[in-house]
Amino acid sequence: MNQKSSQPMISHRTARLPNGLEIQAEIDPTAHTAAIGFFVKTGARDEPTELMGVSHFLEHMMFKGTAKRRAEEVNRDFDELGAAQNAFTTSELTAYHAHVLPDRAHGALEILADILRPALRQSDFDEEKAVILEEIAMYADQPFWVGIEVMMEQLYAGHPLAHRVLGTKDSVAALSLEQMAGYFDQRYTPDNAALVAAGNLDFDELVSEASRLCGHWKPATPTRVYPPWTPGRAEAILELKNTARAYVLLSMPGPSIQDDLRYAAGILMHVLGGGDGSRLHWALVESGIAEEASSCYDGHDGLGDSTLFAVCDPDKIDEIEKILRRELDAIVTSLTDDDLLRACSRISTGAAAAAERPSGRMFRLGTLWGYGAEYIPLEDEVERISTVSLAEIRRCVEKFPLVPTVKIVVMPAPEAKSVDDADDETLVDSNASLEIAE
């Protein structure tokens, strides 16, 4: 007969190699799989402006081969393990990870450690640059992506968080292999990285293998710049040549990922626009005024923001903006304890569901490490979410007023400028207006 233990089965373990590589894991002997990943504290915000996009480009290059594996061998070896592997780059983190059966965790670690020391060959660089430029062109064709990029550029104007993760066509085209190699040497150091794992694995063996595979990596003590920031104030209207819909974004400063008020900000944005039961959904989508409407809070290292978003017919832009601002103005005074209870329940359920898989716990561990946050068990974080009160919501709004400082509208270009006539190099109309709000 199965009996529940009075002690939690999941344990958090940490270690640090002499070269500074941090190792963290949530060990769960009952799990059927294991997830392993390397997280590097580097992203678009850590790039010099002239190298914008190098972090994401470098992520691609990691899979192009090493001193001991060709690109096809990297993929083949992952396949032989039955691994689900991937990588991602954000403004602040780059990660490489794999999800495998427990008895194949060491094999996954060996491949991941190997690709973290790439060959960086000129032929691969030239080939992948063409791929990246195609990716930039593809995303420049997506209205929501265009709006988000311009929103970040305007809200964080003068701050490295304004950097585009993909870079620009010009910055990527001008990038050299030597510049990429220099960036790699500066940022991909053991004292700027962490090995994180979760699931059914032996932590002591993990540390031993990490020491064997990564112990020779040389530290360099890289730093991150935290310049002063004044929130941008701007309005931009962008004309895109292949959309029939308008996209409206309103954005404003919010708590950083390290600020305890992040819980209040997240819950507030969830009540406002976090799903089918949200205020924006009922005011805009159910009423038939907008096709989509949502809001979200996004915390960064030292800074943060909240954004409202809606998709509508172009002739409804003004009406949409009025309703977005009306709901934003009313949210705090109309918020109830029942609203908080429902939002906390949904957020907690989402967090718990994500952690059901070892990969979800691995991502959470890596993110906590990347933002310098103290480890907190998932169960404790769920409990913390449930304690957010109306008074805490009000404190959050007092510190971070719900007053948008940036408005971005992406709308169809005039009919004369059809998609068929569009210049591949200029998917966003060159006549887009940009006004600095007073």
pLDDT of 2 strictly over 50: no
Q: Let me know: does 133 contact 172? Beta carbons within 8 Å.
A: yes
Q: What is the mean pLDDT of residues 160-168?
A: 98
Q: Write the DSSP string, 373-424.
A: PPP--HHHHHHHHHT--HHHHHHHHHHS-S---EEEEEEEPPTTS-STT--T
What whole-number distance in Å separates Cα of residue 359 and Cα of residue 374?
A: 20
Q: What is the pTM of this model?
A: 0.92
pLDDT of 362 strictly over 90: yes
Q: Let me know: does 435 contact 263? Beta carbons within 8 Å.
A: no
Nearest to 174 by CA among 287, 349, 48: 48
What whole-number distance in Å separates Cα of residue 89 and Cα of residue 57?
A: 9
pLDDT of 355 strictly over 70: yes
For 68-87, what is each residue's pLDDT tens digit?
999 999 999 999 999 999 99
pLDDT classification of 196: cutoffs 50, 70, 90: very high
**Local structure of 361: helix, strand or coil:** helix
Give residue limits of the domains in the chain. 11-214, 234-435
DSSP label of 162? G
Q: How do beta strands 406-412 and 246-253 pair?
A: antiparallel
pLDDT at res. 419: 32
pLDDT at res. 7: 44
pLDDT classification of 435: cutoffs 50, 70, 90: very low
pLDDT of 314 strictly over 80: yes
What whole-number distance in Å separates Cα of residue 56 and Cα of residue 54?
A: 6
Does CATH number 3.30.830.10 belong to domain 234-435? yes
pLDDT of 428 strictly over 50: no
pLDDT at res. 426: 34
Lowest mean pLDDT among 19-23, 139-143, 295-299: 139-143
pLDDT classification of 8: cutoffs 50, 70, 90: low
pLDDT classification of 140: cutoffs 50, 70, 90: very high
pLDDT at res. 430: 31
What whole-number distance in Å separates Cα of residue 111 and Cα of residue 117?
A: 10
pLDDT of 97 strictly over 90: yes
φ/ψ (deg, to 5) at 315 = -80, 0
Dihedral angle at the C-alpha atoms of 73, 79, 80, 84, nearest 10 degrees? 130
Dihedral angle at the C-alpha atoms of 197, 301, 93, 274, nearest 10 degrees? 80
Q: What is the CATH topology of the domain spanning 11-214?
A: Cytochrome Bc1 Complex; Chain A, domain 1 (3.30.830)
Residue 197, amino acid: A
Nearest to 95 by CA among 160, 26, 37: 37
What whole-number distance in Å separates Cα of residue 235 and Cα of residue 155?
A: 10
Nearest to 64 by CA among 107, 122, 113: 122
Q: Let me know: does 267 contact 197? Beta carbons within 8 Å.
A: no
Provide the 10 A C-beta neighbour count for residue 292: 16
Q: Let me know: does 369 contact 192? Beta carbons within 8 Å.
A: no
Nearest to 427 by CA among 37, 57, 58, 137: 137
Higher-confidence position of 422 and 78 = 78
The b-or-e profile of 4-43 (16+ CB within 10 A means b, else e) is eeeeeebebeebebebbbbbbbbbbeebebbbbbbbbbbb
What whole-number distance in Å separates Cα of residue 164 and Cα of residue 44?
A: 6
pLDDT at res. 414: 86
For the chain, the average pLDDT equals 92
Tokens for 313? 């017919």
Q: What is the mean pLDDT of residues 18-30?
A: 98
Higher-confidence position of 221 and 185 = 185
pLDDT classification of 9: cutoffs 50, 70, 90: confident
What whole-number distance in Å separates Cα of residue 376 and Cα of residue 381?
A: 6
